[in-house]
Amino acid sequence: MNRLSSQLRIGEKIGLGFAVVCLLFFAVVGYYHHTLRSVTGDYKHLLAVFETRKSLALAIEIEMAAVRDAEKAFLIAHKEQFAQEVDEHLQVLFDKLALLAAVDEDSRQTVDQLRPLLTGYRDSFHAVAEAWRSMGLDENSGVQGAFRSKIHRLHELAGRYSVDRLYAGLLQLRRHEKDLALRRDLRYAEQVRRQVGELVQMVKGSELPAAVKAQLLDDLRQYAQSFEPFARELLAGGNANGGMGRFRDAAHRIEAVLKANHVPHLENSILQLRRREKDFLLRGDESYPPMVAEIARGIRAQIAASAIADADKALLSGLLNDYQSSFFVLVAQRARIAELTRAMDAAAQRVAPLLTSNSAQANQMMSQRIEETSLAAQTSARLAVGAMLAATILGALFAVLITRRIVRPLREMAGLLDNLAYGAPTPRVAAVPGGRDEVNAMALSLNALIGHRANFLAWWKSSLQEMNAERTLQAASSRDEREQAIAELRAVGMARVEQLNAMRGRLLAEVDDIIATTQRVQSNHSGTTFDDAKRIEHAAREIATLLEIVGGHLSVPANDAGSSSATAPPALV
């Protein structure tokens, strides 16, 4: 770590620190944006898939409800517009199913289940609608219109044979006539005249054919004209002649005409027939068709027993038979419609649970996805906060490490300089040779200064010791003192040799450094760098300093031959 730190200058360290802090900042910002994109993507996916599925499921349920409403309206009102509304809503429903199938795989599987069921429901409804069209959407169409036209024609003809009131009026007329003949009272003559007038009005207001009306009116006129002489004769006390006369013949002719155009209770029977028909159409009760058949048999019997012409009997019977046939076709068609309606309801009931489950599933998945997205967003927010705190801590730690790498050597150098100032023993500052760091260069320079100072001090001390030893040798008066002085000189010489050997090692090291730097400069095609030049300069100055120390020693003159021989240092090793 120290070697790596020494290869960086202070500015590079500070720049590296800022770069690392910026990288951490960008990493935090990048993670924040990644988290934001992730959460945004989750919400987009939530809207694109689950919200879409929920909306389509709700829309499909609404459309299905609209289909059923239009279906019920058609079954109640039997109008073509409601059938068209069913088809329109079904088309919208199938379009929404296509959109739902494109959302995701689960939706496609749900649509694969719904589509055949809805197709079956649509086919069932079309069958029901076609059956109703065949039966008749209103009273004038289909089978219903066919038998209704027959019964209306039958009812219209029945009015021609409904002469019960005329026949009763004729009988009332004959009664008043008999009372006049028996009692010879004027008031009975007035009643006859009044009854003739009422019969004339009833004939005019009847539905009898025009020829029959004309014949009846002519006979009533003849009756009134022939009755007046008979009434005057009776009131004058004449003979009643048994109540016979021209008026009696006219009355007989009127009676014959009425009998020839009379089917007793035909109109009432036809009204009763229509009543049971309406009851069946209204309630759909199966007990009414047998009643219709029974009433029709009674009408046939009435027609057969009447005195009307055979052609009229055939016409009335034919209309009645056509009506009855059409009515029972309608009964059968209504039964088929009921069966088709049950099939349609069954198809709709199979669709409804799937629609409900699809909507419930969409709501459940929507809620679950919202919860998952919220939890993921909370987790991402916590992680983002954690990443920011971690980046802050790492940035602070890195800043502390870089600051420490700068401040600690400076503090050590400050202590060394203080020691140098006051002469205290001074250790070396930790430094890496060849480093590019300015603090490391200062440490190397300071170490060199301390080394030179130590060399100078050691050389100076040895010089003092040598000078003292030579003085002692020169002042020695005895052999022992002389030998002791020589021993001291030899010790000083050995110390000098050790110092010279150390200097020799330093010189060789500096020479090796110069050679290595020179070789690196020669191999570097870009030329000499500032650091290489600085390193060569420092080595040269170091060599110069060491040589200066050695040169100062060699320049000191010897006192005499004896002292020179006595103090000559051993050879360098």
Of 118-127, 143-152, 185-194, the range with the lowest mean pLDDT is 143-152
Give me the DSSP letters along 505-562: HHHHHHHHHHHHHHHHHHH-TT---HHHHHHHHHHHHHHHHHHHHHHHHHTSPPS-HH
For the stretch 206-230, pLDDT in tens is 777 888 888 888 888 888 888 888 8
Structure confidence at residue 229 (pLDDT): 83
Structure confidence at residue 91 (pLDDT): 93
Residue 23 CB-density burial (10 A; 0-12 exposed, 13-18 middle, 19+ buried): middle
Q: Are residues 504 and 554 in the same domain?
A: yes
Helix (H, G, I), strand (E, B) or coil at 287: coil
Q: Are residues 102 and 220 in the same domain?
A: no
Structure confidence at residue 10 (pLDDT): 65
What number of other Cβ atoms are within 10 A of residue 503's Cβ? 19
The residue segments making up the domain with residue 523 are 438-567
Total domain count, the chain: 3
Structure confidence at residue 558 (pLDDT): 43
Mean pLDDT of the chain: 77
Q: Contact 249/273 with Cβ under 8 angstroms?
A: no
CA 479 to chain centre: 119
Evaluate whether residue 420 is within a structural domain: no
Give me the DSSP letters along 208-239: --HHHHHHHHHHHHHHHHHHHHHHHHHHTT--
Of 301-310, 376-385, 533-542, the range with the lowest mean pLDDT is 533-542
**% of residues, the chain, pLDDT over 90:** 5
State the average pLDDT over residues 111-129: 90
Evaluate whether residue 518 is within a structural domain: yes
Amino acid at 326: S
Q: Are residues 126 and 65 in the same domain?
A: yes
For the stretch 504-521, pLDDT in tens is 777 777 777 777 777 676
Of 58-67, 431-440, 481-490, the range with the lowest mean pLDDT is 431-440
CA distance 310 to 247: 30
For residue 240, name the pLDDT band (cuts at 50, 70, 90). low
The H-assigned helical ranges of 136-209 are: 142-160, 164-183, 186-205
CA 12 to chain centre: 55
Chain position carrying tokens 């990644």: 34
Q: Are residues 132 and 168 in the same domain?
A: no
- Can you give 402-426 as a three-state secondary structure string? HHHHHHHHHHHHHHHHHHHHHCCCC
Sign of CA dihedral 184, 185, 191, 196: positive
For residue 189, name the pLDDT band (cuts at 50, 70, 90). confident
What number of other Cβ atoms are within 10 A of residue 473's Cβ? 21
For residue 92, name the pLDDT band (cuts at 50, 70, 90). very high
Evaluate whether residue 151 is within a structural domain: no
- Token readout for 228 is 């007046």
Residue 415 has pLDDT above 80, yes or no: no
Residue 242 has pLDDT above 70, yes or no: no
Residue 371 has pLDDT above 70, yes or no: yes
Q: Are residues 252 and 349 in the same domain?
A: no
State the average pLDDT over residues 424-440: 68
Q: Are residues 201 and 238 in the same domain?
A: yes
Q: Are residues 378 and 472 in the same domain?
A: no
DSSP assigned state of 208: -
CA distance 194 to 177: 12
Evaluate whether residue 221 is within a structural domain: yes
For residue 424, name the pLDDT band (cuts at 50, 70, 90). low
The residue from 244, 260, 276 where one domain ends is 260
Query: Higher-confidence residue: 3 or 278?
Result: 278
Residue 116 has pLDDT above 70, yes or no: yes
At 66, give phi and psi (nearest 5°).
-65, -40
Q: Are residues 45 and 103 in the same domain?
A: yes
> What count of Cα atoms within 13 Å lies in the side-chain half-sphere of residue 334?
17
Closest CA to 170 of 248, 87, 57, 66: 248
Residue 123 has pLDDT above 80, yes or no: yes
Evaluate whether residue 25 is within a structural domain: yes
Q: 16: domain CATH number? A: 1.20.120
For residue 66, name the pLDDT band (cuts at 50, 70, 90). very high
Evaluate whether residue 124 is within a structural domain: yes
Please tell me the chain's helix, strand, coil percentages from 3-state DSSP, rounded to the nearest 5: 85, 0, 15
Structure confidence at residue 406 (pLDDT): 72
Of 39-48, 231-240, 506-515, the range with the lowest mean pLDDT is 39-48
The residue from 240, 260, 280 where one domain ends is 260
State the average pLDDT over residues 426-431: 70
369-377 long-range contacts, Cβ below 8 Å, gap at least 24?
A: 369/46, 369/50, 370/46, 372/42, 373/39, 373/42, 373/43, 373/46, 376/38, 376/39, 376/42, 377/39, 377/42
CA distance 327 to 334: 10
Closest CA to 538 of 433, 430, 412: 433
Which one of 382-396, 437-451, 489-503, 550-564 scores highest in mean pLDDT?
382-396
pTM to 2 decimal places: 0.51
The residue from 226, 260, 294 where one domain ends is 260
CA distance 355 to 100: 12
Q: Are residues 169 and 118 in the same domain?
A: no
